[in-house]
Protein backbone atom coordinates (compact mmCIF):
# COMPACT_ATOMS: atom_id res chain seq x y z
CA UNK A 1 0.00 0.00 0.00
CA UNK A 2 1.15 3.53 -0.78
CA UNK A 3 2.25 5.16 2.50
CA UNK A 4 0.88 8.68 2.90
CA UNK A 5 2.81 9.52 6.08
CA UNK A 6 6.51 9.75 5.31
CA UNK A 7 7.79 9.44 8.87
CA UNK A 8 5.31 7.78 11.26
CA UNK A 9 6.55 7.25 14.81
CA UNK A 10 7.04 3.69 16.05
CA UNK A 11 4.20 2.98 18.46
CA UNK A 12 4.51 0.64 21.46
CA UNK A 13 4.36 -3.12 20.87
CA UNK A 14 4.21 -2.65 17.13
CA UNK A 15 0.83 -0.89 17.17
CA UNK A 16 -0.40 0.54 13.89
CA UNK A 17 -1.62 3.78 15.46
CA UNK A 18 -2.32 5.57 18.73
CA UNK A 19 -5.82 6.54 19.91
CA UNK A 20 -6.92 8.96 22.61
CA UNK A 21 -10.54 9.98 23.15
CA UNK A 22 -9.64 13.40 24.55
CA UNK A 23 -12.74 15.01 26.04
CA UNK A 24 -13.20 18.65 27.07
CA UNK A 25 -15.29 18.67 30.26
CA UNK A 26 -16.54 22.28 30.23
CA UNK A 27 -19.85 22.04 32.15
CA UNK A 28 -21.30 25.50 32.90
CA UNK A 29 -18.00 27.29 32.41
CA UNK A 30 -19.45 28.21 29.01
CA UNK A 31 -22.50 29.76 30.67
CA UNK A 32 -20.38 31.94 32.95
CA UNK A 33 -18.01 32.80 30.11
CA UNK A 34 -20.68 33.93 27.65
CA UNK A 35 -22.80 35.80 30.23
CA UNK A 36 -20.24 37.33 32.61
CA UNK A 37 -22.38 40.34 33.56
CA UNK A 38 -25.80 38.67 33.36
CA UNK A 39 -27.91 37.11 36.07
CA UNK A 40 -27.05 33.53 35.19
CA UNK A 41 -29.67 32.24 37.60
CA UNK A 42 -32.31 32.73 34.94
CA UNK A 43 -30.37 30.73 32.31
CA UNK A 44 -31.95 27.51 33.54
CA UNK A 45 -32.27 25.74 30.18
CA UNK A 46 -28.66 26.37 29.16
CA UNK A 47 -27.37 25.45 32.60
CA UNK A 48 -29.30 22.16 32.54
CA UNK A 49 -27.92 21.26 29.11
CA UNK A 50 -24.34 21.90 30.23
CA UNK A 51 -24.76 20.21 33.64
CA UNK A 52 -25.73 17.01 31.83
CA UNK A 53 -22.04 16.61 31.07
CA UNK A 54 -21.20 16.33 34.77
CA UNK A 55 -24.23 14.54 36.16
CA UNK A 56 -24.95 11.96 33.43
CA UNK A 57 -22.28 11.96 30.73
CA UNK A 58 -19.07 11.69 32.75
CA UNK A 59 -20.29 8.60 34.68
CA UNK A 60 -21.51 7.09 31.40
CA UNK A 61 -18.24 7.77 29.57
CA UNK A 62 -16.20 6.42 32.49
CA UNK A 63 -18.36 3.28 32.41
CA UNK A 64 -17.63 2.82 28.71
CA UNK A 65 -13.90 3.24 29.15
CA UNK A 66 -13.88 0.89 32.11
CA UNK A 67 -15.78 -1.70 30.08
CA UNK A 68 -13.12 -1.65 27.38
CA UNK A 69 -10.23 -1.40 29.83
CA UNK A 70 -8.81 1.83 28.42
CA UNK A 71 -7.53 4.98 30.12
CA UNK A 72 -8.13 8.32 28.45
CA UNK A 73 -7.74 12.09 28.91
CA UNK A 74 -10.27 14.71 30.01
CA UNK A 75 -9.24 18.36 29.69
CA UNK A 76 -11.05 20.32 32.38
CA UNK A 77 -11.25 24.00 33.36
CA UNK A 78 -10.21 24.60 36.96
CA UNK A 79 -13.61 25.94 37.93
CA UNK A 80 -15.26 22.68 36.78
CA UNK A 81 -12.89 20.67 38.97
CA UNK A 82 -14.09 22.60 42.00
CA UNK A 83 -17.77 22.60 40.95
CA UNK A 84 -17.96 18.84 40.27
CA UNK A 85 -15.54 17.00 42.56
CA UNK A 86 -17.50 13.73 42.40
CA UNK A 87 -17.28 13.54 38.61
CA UNK A 88 -13.58 14.35 38.73
CA UNK A 89 -12.94 11.77 41.47
CA UNK A 90 -14.63 9.14 39.29
CA UNK A 91 -12.21 9.92 36.47
CA UNK A 92 -9.17 9.98 38.72
CA UNK A 93 -10.14 6.68 40.35
CA UNK A 94 -10.39 5.14 36.86
CA UNK A 95 -6.81 6.14 36.08
CA UNK A 96 -7.78 8.76 33.55
CA UNK A 97 -5.70 11.88 32.99
CA UNK A 98 -6.98 15.35 33.92
CA UNK A 99 -5.51 17.91 31.53
CA UNK A 100 -5.37 21.69 31.83
CA UNK A 101 -8.15 23.57 30.03
CA UNK A 102 -8.04 27.05 31.53
CA UNK A 103 -9.92 28.27 34.56
CA UNK A 104 -13.29 29.27 33.08
CA UNK A 105 -12.72 28.28 29.44
CA UNK A 106 -11.12 31.66 28.71
CA UNK A 107 -10.04 32.52 25.17
CA UNK A 108 -6.50 33.32 26.20
CA UNK A 109 -5.53 35.04 22.94
CA UNK A 110 -7.88 37.82 24.09
CA UNK A 111 -5.87 38.29 27.31
CA UNK A 112 -2.66 40.05 28.28
CA UNK A 113 0.33 37.85 29.05
CA UNK A 114 -0.16 38.62 32.75
CA UNK A 115 -3.79 37.52 32.70
CA UNK A 116 -3.06 34.42 30.62
CA UNK A 117 -0.45 33.41 33.19
CA UNK A 118 -3.01 34.00 35.96
CA UNK A 119 -5.37 31.58 34.20
CA UNK A 120 -2.55 29.06 33.68
CA UNK A 121 -1.60 29.09 37.36
CA UNK A 122 -5.21 28.89 38.57
CA UNK A 123 -5.80 25.80 36.44
CA UNK A 124 -2.57 24.17 37.63
CA UNK A 125 -3.51 24.71 41.28
CA UNK A 126 -7.00 23.29 40.75
CA UNK A 127 -5.63 20.14 39.10
CA UNK A 128 -3.01 19.68 41.83
CA UNK A 129 -5.76 19.93 44.45
CA UNK A 130 -8.04 17.47 42.64
CA UNK A 131 -5.45 14.87 41.60
CA UNK A 132 -2.49 15.37 43.92
CA UNK A 133 -0.11 16.23 41.09
CA UNK A 134 0.36 19.04 38.56
CA UNK A 135 -0.87 18.63 34.99
CA UNK A 136 1.55 17.72 32.21
CA UNK A 137 -0.79 18.55 29.32
CA UNK A 138 -2.77 21.54 28.11
CA UNK A 139 -5.48 22.28 25.58
CA UNK A 140 -6.36 25.90 24.82
CA UNK A 141 -10.10 26.53 25.23
CA UNK A 142 -11.63 27.17 21.81
CA UNK A 143 -8.17 26.61 20.28
CA UNK A 144 -7.36 30.23 21.13
CA UNK A 145 -3.58 29.74 21.26
CA UNK A 146 -1.83 33.09 21.85
CA UNK A 147 1.67 34.40 21.22
CA UNK A 148 2.36 33.79 24.93
CA UNK A 149 0.90 30.29 25.32
CA UNK A 150 4.01 28.29 24.42
CA UNK A 151 6.22 30.40 26.67
CA UNK A 152 3.86 29.89 29.61
CA UNK A 153 3.64 26.14 29.06
CA UNK A 154 7.43 25.83 29.03
CA UNK A 155 7.83 28.07 32.07
CA UNK A 156 5.23 26.22 34.15
CA UNK A 157 6.16 22.63 33.44
CA UNK A 158 3.58 21.68 30.82
CA UNK A 159 5.17 18.99 28.64
CA UNK A 160 2.61 18.61 25.86
CA UNK A 161 -0.15 20.55 24.13
CA UNK A 162 -3.26 19.28 22.33
CA UNK A 163 -4.58 22.48 20.75
CA UNK A 164 -3.16 22.59 17.23
CA UNK A 165 -3.38 20.63 14.01
CA UNK A 166 -0.23 21.02 11.94
CA UNK A 167 0.56 17.36 11.17
CA UNK A 168 -0.90 13.85 11.15
CA UNK A 169 1.60 12.71 13.80
CA UNK A 170 2.93 14.28 17.01
CA UNK A 171 5.42 17.09 16.50
CA UNK A 172 7.40 19.65 18.44
CA UNK A 173 6.42 23.28 18.84
CA UNK A 174 9.55 25.23 19.70
CA UNK A 175 10.50 28.65 20.97
CA UNK A 176 13.33 30.53 19.23
CA UNK A 177 15.61 29.49 22.13
CA UNK A 178 14.97 25.81 21.28
CA UNK A 179 12.83 24.88 24.30
CA UNK A 180 9.77 22.93 23.19
CA UNK A 181 6.72 20.87 24.05
CA UNK A 182 5.21 17.90 22.24
CA UNK A 183 2.14 18.76 20.17
CA UNK A 184 -0.60 16.11 19.81
CA UNK A 185 -2.54 17.32 16.77
CA UNK A 186 -6.19 16.95 15.87
CA UNK A 187 -8.33 18.07 12.97
CA UNK A 188 -11.79 19.65 12.89
CA UNK A 189 -13.42 16.44 11.68
CA UNK A 190 -12.53 14.85 15.04
CA UNK A 191 -14.43 17.56 16.94
CA UNK A 192 -17.93 16.51 17.98
CA UNK A 193 -18.99 20.16 18.16
CA UNK A 194 -18.96 20.28 14.37
CA UNK A 195 -21.19 17.22 14.13
CA UNK A 196 -23.83 17.73 16.78
CA UNK A 197 -24.01 21.09 18.49
CA UNK A 198 -27.00 23.39 18.13
CA UNK A 199 -26.27 25.94 20.86
CA UNK A 200 -27.33 29.47 19.90
CA UNK A 201 -25.42 31.05 22.80
CA UNK A 202 -22.17 29.95 21.19
CA UNK A 203 -23.19 31.00 17.71
CA UNK A 204 -23.75 27.41 16.53
CA UNK A 205 -27.22 26.82 15.09
CA UNK A 206 -26.56 23.92 12.75
CA UNK A 207 -28.50 20.81 11.88
CA UNK A 208 -27.08 18.04 14.09
CA UNK A 209 -25.83 14.91 12.32
CA UNK A 210 -27.28 11.48 12.96
CA UNK A 211 -24.92 9.74 15.40
CA UNK A 212 -24.16 6.96 12.90
CA UNK A 213 -23.23 9.56 10.27
CA UNK A 214 -20.94 11.34 12.70
CA UNK A 215 -19.30 8.05 13.64
CA UNK A 216 -18.62 7.43 9.95
CA UNK A 217 -16.56 10.63 9.89
CA UNK A 218 -14.63 9.74 13.05
CA UNK A 219 -14.13 6.17 11.85
CA UNK A 220 -12.79 7.23 8.45
CA UNK A 221 -10.14 9.39 10.12
CA UNK A 222 -9.22 6.52 12.46
CA UNK A 223 -9.00 4.03 9.59
CA UNK A 224 -6.61 6.33 7.74
CA UNK A 225 -4.47 6.78 10.86
CA UNK A 226 -4.41 2.99 11.28
CA UNK A 227 -3.38 2.41 7.67
CA UNK A 228 -0.57 4.95 7.69
CA UNK A 229 0.77 4.92 11.26
CA UNK A 230 -0.74 8.14 12.51
CA UNK A 231 -2.45 9.46 15.62
CA UNK A 232 -6.21 9.66 16.13
CA UNK A 233 -7.34 11.94 18.91
CA UNK A 234 -10.59 13.75 19.50
CA UNK A 235 -12.06 17.00 20.78
CA UNK A 236 -15.24 15.68 22.34
CA UNK A 237 -17.47 17.16 25.03
CA UNK A 238 -19.41 15.17 27.65
CA UNK A 239 -22.63 17.16 27.29
CA UNK A 240 -22.45 16.51 23.53
CA UNK A 241 -21.08 13.00 22.92
CA UNK A 242 -22.25 11.66 26.27
CA UNK A 243 -25.87 11.77 25.15
CA UNK A 244 -27.37 8.33 24.90
CA UNK A 245 -27.46 7.64 21.14
CA UNK A 246 -24.06 9.25 20.65
CA UNK A 247 -22.57 7.26 23.51
CA UNK A 248 -23.82 4.11 21.78
CA UNK A 249 -21.89 5.14 18.70
CA UNK A 250 -18.76 5.69 20.79
CA UNK A 251 -19.11 2.08 21.93
CA UNK A 252 -19.40 0.94 18.29
CA UNK A 253 -16.39 3.03 17.31
CA UNK A 254 -14.22 1.50 20.04
CA UNK A 255 -15.42 -1.97 19.04
CA UNK A 256 -14.39 -1.20 15.46
CA UNK A 257 -10.97 0.01 16.60
CA UNK A 258 -10.39 -3.05 18.73
CA UNK A 259 -11.51 -5.35 15.91
CA UNK A 260 -8.88 -3.89 13.61
CA UNK A 261 -6.24 -4.75 16.18
CA UNK A 262 -2.80 -3.31 16.90
CA UNK A 263 -4.25 -0.09 18.33
CA UNK A 264 -2.58 1.63 21.27
CA UNK A 265 -5.28 3.23 23.43
CA UNK A 266 -3.56 5.71 25.74
CA UNK A 267 -3.89 8.97 27.57
CA UNK A 268 -2.48 12.02 25.89
CA UNK A 269 0.18 12.13 28.61
CA UNK A 270 1.27 8.57 27.79
CA UNK A 271 1.46 9.36 24.08
CA UNK A 272 3.48 12.53 24.69
CA UNK A 273 5.83 10.68 27.06
CA UNK A 274 6.35 7.94 24.48
CA UNK A 275 7.14 10.51 21.79
CA UNK A 276 9.55 12.39 24.06
CA UNK A 277 11.32 9.10 24.82
CA UNK A 278 11.69 8.28 21.13
CA UNK A 279 13.24 11.68 20.55
CA UNK A 280 15.59 11.43 23.55
CA UNK A 281 16.84 8.01 22.39
CA UNK A 282 17.25 9.17 18.78
CA UNK A 283 14.74 6.55 17.66
CA UNK A 284 12.53 8.98 15.76
CA UNK A 285 12.85 12.52 14.43
CA UNK A 286 9.58 14.47 14.69
CA UNK A 287 8.40 17.37 12.57
CA UNK A 288 9.08 20.74 14.21
CA UNK A 289 7.46 24.17 14.14
CA UNK A 290 9.10 27.25 15.65
CA UNK A 291 6.74 29.92 17.01
CA UNK A 292 5.90 32.64 16.22
CA UNK A 293 5.42 32.08 12.50
CA UNK A 294 5.31 35.80 11.75
CA UNK A 295 6.64 38.95 13.33
CA UNK A 296 3.74 40.95 11.91
CA UNK A 297 0.94 40.70 9.40
CA UNK A 298 1.99 40.42 5.77
CA UNK A 299 1.25 43.74 4.00
CA UNK A 300 -1.57 43.58 1.50
CA UNK A 301 -0.92 45.11 -1.90
CA UNK A 302 -4.63 45.66 -2.62
CA UNK A 303 -7.74 46.21 -0.51
CA UNK A 304 -11.44 45.50 -1.25
CA UNK A 305 -13.19 48.48 -2.82
CA UNK A 306 -16.67 47.02 -3.31
Mean pLDDT of the chain: 95
Q: Give the contacts of 172 (CB within 8 A, at least 6 positions apart).
A: 180, 181, 182, 183, 279, 286, 287, 288, 289
pLDDT at site 293: 92
pLDDT at site 209: 87
pLDDT category at 207 given cuts 50, 70, 90 is confident
pLDDT at site 299: 92
Lowest mean pLDDT among 62-66, 112-116, 197-201, 237-241: 197-201
pLDDT category at 45 given cuts 50, 70, 90 is confident
pLDDT at site 162: 98
In this prediction, what percent of the chain has a pLDDT beyond 70?
99
pLDDT at site 132: 97
pLDDT at site 198: 85
pLDDT category at 41 given cuts 50, 70, 90 is confident
Does position 202 have pLDDT exceeding 70, yes or no?
A: no
- On whether the CB atoms of residues 68 and 263 are closer than 8 A, the answer is no
pLDDT at site 36: 80
Q: What are the CA-CA distances from residue 57 to residues 25, 139, 301 (Å)?
A: 10, 20, 51
pLDDT digits 0-9 by tens, 88-112: 999 999 999 999 999 999 999 999 9
pLDDT digits 0-9 by tens, 110-144: 999 999 999 999 999 999 999 999 999 999 999 99
| pTM for the structure as a whole | 0.96
pLDDT category at 166 given cuts 50, 70, 90 is very high
Ordered structural domains, the chain, with CATH: 12-290 (3.20.20.370)
Does position 205 have pLDDT exceeding 80, yes or no?
A: no
- On whether the CB atoms of residues 184 and 162 are closer than 8 A, the answer is yes
pLDDT at site 199: 80
Q: Which residues pair with 182 in a beta bridge?
A: 160, 172
Residue 71: which of 96, 108, 53, 34 has the closest Cα?
96
- On whether the CB atoms of residues 186 and 235 are closer than 8 A, the answer is yes
Bridging pattern class, strands 171-174 and 180-183: antiparallel
Average pLDDT over residues 57-79: 98
Rg of the chain over all Cα atoms, to the nearest angstrom:
19
Residue 233: which of 143, 284, 163, 153 has the closest Cα?
163
Does position 200 have pLDDT exceeding 90, yes or no?
A: no
Does position 201 have pLDDT exceeding 80, yes or no?
A: no
Average pLDDT over residues 173-201: 93
Average pLDDT over residues 180-200: 93
pLDDT digits 0-9 by tens, 231-264: 999 999 999 999 999 999 999 999 999 999 999 9
Amino acid sequence: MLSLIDNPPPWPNGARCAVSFAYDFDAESLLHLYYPSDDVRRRVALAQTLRYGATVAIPRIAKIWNHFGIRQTVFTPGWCLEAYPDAVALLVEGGHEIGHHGWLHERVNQLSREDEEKVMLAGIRAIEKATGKPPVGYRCPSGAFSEHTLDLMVEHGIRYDASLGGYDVPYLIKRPDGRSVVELPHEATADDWNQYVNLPVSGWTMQPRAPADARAVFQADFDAAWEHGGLWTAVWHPFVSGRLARAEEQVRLIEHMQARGDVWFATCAEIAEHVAGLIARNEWTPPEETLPFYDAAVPQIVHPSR
